[in-house]
Structures are given as structure tokens and as C-alpha cells.
Amino acid sequence: MASAIELIVSAYVRVGDRDALVGLLDHRQRLAADLRGRTGFDFSVPMNAVTGEIGVIEAGLAELAGPVPTALGSKADSAG
């Protein structure tokens, strides 16, 4: 079964809504940055989830062609 983010990205790709995908990517990148900045708890599980969602969104953007925005960085910065 597809995850919620996969279904959302798929719908945006079908209708060609690149702006919505960029918005999702920006939001997930901000979440990742926030999680990386927190201490006192093991945030690896939510961080892995956000990282996976970023990958799904980037794949959707790649389907629509054109460069993937990297304002906050993505895969390279979210490695840990």
C-alpha cells in the first residue's frame, strides 16, 4: 500500500502542480532542519520518516522535469 505522501505526490505529478511539490519539499526540509537541531531525545525515527518523504517528493519533482530546489539541502544534508 502506498504511503500518504506517495499518494499526495502522485496526485500533484498527475496534475502537474510543481509549486505544490516545491512547497511540500520546503516544509519537509524545514522539519528535517528542526529535528537535526534538537537534543535530549532520539529523533532518528521521525528524521528517517522525513528523509524518506523528501526522497519521494524529489522523485515527483524529477518526473515533472527541471532542477530540484535545494534551498535547505536535502539528501546530502539529511544523512545525519
| Domain total in the chain | 1
Stated pTM of the model: 0.78
| Length in residues, the chain | 80
Give the domain extent around 55. 4-65
For 18-42, letters b (16+ CB in 10 Å) and e give: bebbbebbeebbebbeebeeeeeee
Per-residue confidence in pLDDT tens, the chain, 80 aa: 789 999 999 999 999 999 999 999 999 999 999 999 999 999 999 999 999 999 999 999 999 886 666 665 544 444 44
Task: Tell me, yes or no, whether 71 lies in a domain.
Answer: no
